[in-house]
Structure 1
Amino acid sequence: MRATAFSVGEPAPWFYCRTQLRERFCFDTVAGRYVVISFLGSAADPASIKVLEGVRAHRQRFDDDQVCFFGVSVDPEDEKLKRVKDSIPGMRFIWDFDRSVSALYDTLQLDGSIRPMTYVLDPALRVMAIVPIEEPVDNHVPSLMRFLDRLPALAPQHVATPHAPVLVVPRIFEPALCKALINYYDERGGEESGFMVERSGKTVQVADHSHKQRRDCMIEDKALSKACSLRITNRLVPEIHKAFQFNATRMERYLVACYNSEEGGHFRPHRDNTTKGTAHRRFAISLFLNSGEYEGGFLHFPEFGKVLYSAPVGGAVVFSCSLLHEATPVTKGRRYMFLPFLYDEAAGVIREENLPFLES
């Protein structure tokens, strides 16, 4: 299944549309399952006919529980075709006769024609793959099915247990970027990382290995910093706004951290905004660069029980800087992290006002 770099990892656009059963269908209400959305142009096109035949041959896959399918048509004549009918659960068609949805998904070409395309979205309606419908068309649906086969099954409904108010978002950085950040750290090495405290009215950095053992490397490469910034802005900031109604506009520090088991890497419970020099921080990001290559090294929020948090490679755990949290000891290997803070314009004013309290 070939996926392009364009928009992968980003939120898919929401829209209202007309379907066979609803005059005004709210697309974002389908979240909670994997979504396949195919922009077919006209269902009378030979390529579209083959795609629809292939999808119907795998009809059992589209059950609305794990996966659902949407076919997008711009041809008013398709409403008359028997093969272009909703089949609930799992299969629906969108009437995009004004081409507005097609334009949102970048399938509308300058001449008004449609570039046939299939998107796969995750349960949070973030783009997982974008695959053109092109020759040989016969390969399109089998490739799609293989991609769906590799996706983890969604857990059944269950009663929630106490947990921290954190957001876990996969696929913020692609594996290649994670590897580039680790290589950058390894080539330059890390410096001992302290933590901020208040002393005599000043915010100062101190070191105490019983409280924190970590080494950090600031990213000075502009291209690498820009790559990180773009992905945080396009892939993570919209999820933070959706979950917490917070519009992050600024990011503090481009830093790769390493918790090394040979040094007893850890960070005891702390909060990230308890000094004048850190009071502007609103949300912390713990972005995991090499999950699965070490043991231990979880995030823990003591105020909310014993639950331990992590994320897959390139995934992030986002939480309020006012929450008590710790990085549990890494017991084997090295845990590499990208660790910025987010804040907004109002917090930026606070940061400027508190600069005199930072020890120079």
Structure 2
Amino acid sequence: MLKAQFGEVAPYFIAPSNNRQDYHFSSVAGRHVLLWFASSASLPHSQALLAHLMAQRTCFDDQQLSLFIVSADPRDKALERFKDHIPGIRVLWDFEWKLARLYGLEAESVADDSPQALKPNLLLLDPNLRGLHWFDASVPPERQWQEIQGILNALGPIQGGTAHFQAPVLMIPRIFEPAFCRKLIEYYKARGGGDSGYMRTRLDGTIEGVIDYSFKRRRDCLIEDESLAREIRQRIERRLIPEVRKVFRFRVTRMERYLIACYDSAEGGYFRPHRDNDGNGHRQFAVTLNLNAEDYEGGDLKFPEYGQQTYRAPTGGACVFSCFLLHEATPVRSGVRYAFVPFLYDEESAKLRERNSARYVDPKHHYKAFKEDRPTDLPPREDD
């Protein structure tokens, strides 16, 4: 299977370069990366693409964009058909096709007379080394470069400057594609949403579900279509969970609720400051994945413990934060905001959730971590 597709983390590797035997690809994060599995410089397409890329030499500056050429042909090294041009352009050697296989490309040893072309062979990565787009070798180099420039221009330049004090929040773009966001919004519109309550702990320690418009005004729609839930789960597994593991060193094994939330300006659309976990609950991380970030005013996240600035992930992007943080959804002043809002946790937390079932007043909130030796939640999978 092709790796590093849209929103997915590119596999890290160590490979020989012209200057060292152990070039660590994970160290190149921080700029956009064009990774070219060239196979061999003797191929006509490789020659054409190399000429076109070298004509754009000034674009590869190691600040905004870098090019890595991966060759599997020993003759390329012996004859210096691919060369480093520092800054910006480096050659990596893959004579045993290990990198090609790592990225899911079909490859065979280069024969003396007929080196094999790889399709696709050109991968654009974001500064977090997550996939933006694969380009097919059959596309003319001029059009490939136009598409690359179009993507980079849409994303804008990588910003520098001094970081300011902020909440410990992880913002991740490109978890859902724009078309998939629209699909989820249409699902909500076709079914409508019901009043969204919240769980409140009583003085005696029991927990009850309440609806209080002075505290929360939102409508929710549970996703009951298993096919659609599977599509969501696949994207969360491949694009979100690896980032949570990398940043928070937390292994997610369960995801609670497949729910589309709607904050409508006609109703105010807000959720006052609250914590999703008061210290005794099972929820570990909250996810707010915006489905239409450009279509409303207000409706942002705020973390009062860390200042009054607001947070908004782009459409298809997620904001991930600890459930212990005090946070609020500010009122939507105009338009309608849609978001996918699950919680993430692990196996120990699932056991805690089961133990806490007795505290819930309403039996519908009672929970079994396992039924018939199977997890009750369909857990995201994570490769170690």
Identify the TM-score tier after normalising by the shorter chain: over 0.9
Asked if 2 retains the 8 angstrom alpha-carbon contact of 1:175 and 1:314, the reply is: yes
* Equivalence for 2:188: 185
Equivalents in 1 of 2:210, 2:144: separation in Å?
Answer: 58
Alpha-carbon distance in 1 for matches of 2:149, 2:348: 47
Between 1:62-71 and 1:203-212, the stretch displaced more is 203-212
Equivalent position of 2:40 in the other structure: 42
- What residue in structure 1 maps to residue 63 of structure 2? 65
Query: Does the CA-based 8 Å contact 1:194-1:207 persist in structure 2?
Result: yes
The answer to which of 163-172 and 190-199 deviates more is 190-199
> Using the alignment, how far apart are the partners of 2:153 and 2:3 within structure 1?
21
Report what 1:153 is aligned to: 157
Matching residue within 190, 196, 200 for 1:197:
200
Q: Where do 5+ consecutive residues of structure 2 fail to align?
A: 111-115, 364-384
1:76 maps to which residue? Answer: 74
1:296 to 298, 302, 309: 298
Matches of 1:101 and 1:5 in 2, distance apart? 11
**Alignment partner, residue 113 of structure 2:** none
Partner of 1:22: 20
Residue 13 in structure 1 maps to residue 11 in structure 2? yes
Shift of the alpha carbon at 1:138? 4.9
- Evaluate the alpha carbon distance shift between residue 292 and residue 143 of structure 1 in structure 2; reply closer, same or farther with a 3 A threshold: closer
TM-score for both structures, normalised by structure 2:
0.89
Once the two structures are TM-superposed, the CA of residue 346 in structure 1 deviates from its matched residue by: 1.0
SS at match of 1:351: helix
> CA RMSD, aligned part only?
1.7
Alignment partner, residue 330 of structure 2? 328
> Contact 1:290–1:335 (CA<8 Å) still a contact in 2?
yes
Q: Deviations over 1:162-206 (max 9, x none)?
A: 000110000101112111111111111111111111123321111
TM-score (norm 1): 0.94
Indicate the larger mover: 163-172 or 349-358. Answer: 349-358
In 2: Cα distance, 1:315 partner to 1:68 partner:
25
Q: Which runs of 5+ in 1 are unaligned?
A: none
Task: Decide whether the 8 Å contact of 1:31 with 1:123 is kept in 2.
Answer: yes
Equivalent position amino acid for 2:172 in 1 = V
Residue 318 of structure 1 and its aligned partner are, at CA, apart by 0.2
Instruction: Give the structure 1 partner of residue 248 of structure 2.
Output: 244
Moved more, 347-356 or 62-71: 347-356
User: Residue in 1 aligned with 2:355?
Assistant: 353
Q: Partner letter of residue 261 of structure 2?
A: A
Deviation by residue 1:18-62 (Cα, 9 ceiling, x = unmatched): 001121000010000000001110011111011111100000000
Aligned residues: 354
- CA contact 1:50–1:138 (8 Å) conserved in 2: no
From 319, 322, 326, the equivalent of 2:321 is 319
Instruction: Tell me the equivalent position of 1:207.
Output: 211
Would the alpha carbon gap of residues 261 and 135 (structure 1) be closer, same or farther in structure 2, given more than 3 Å must change?
Answer: closer
What SS class does the counterpart of residue 28 from structure 1 fall into?
helix
* Aligned counterpart, 1:121: 125
Report how far residue 126 of structure 1 moved.
Answer: 0.3
**Poorly superposed stretches of 4+, deviation over 6 Å:** none
1:74-153 paired onto structure 2 within 5 Å: 74-109=72-107, 113-116=116-119, 117-153=121-157
User: Partner amino acid for 2:182?
Assistant: K
Q: Is the 8 A contact 2:284 2:345 kept in 1?
A: yes
Q: Deviations over 1:256-278 (max 9, x none)?
A: 000111101100110001275xx
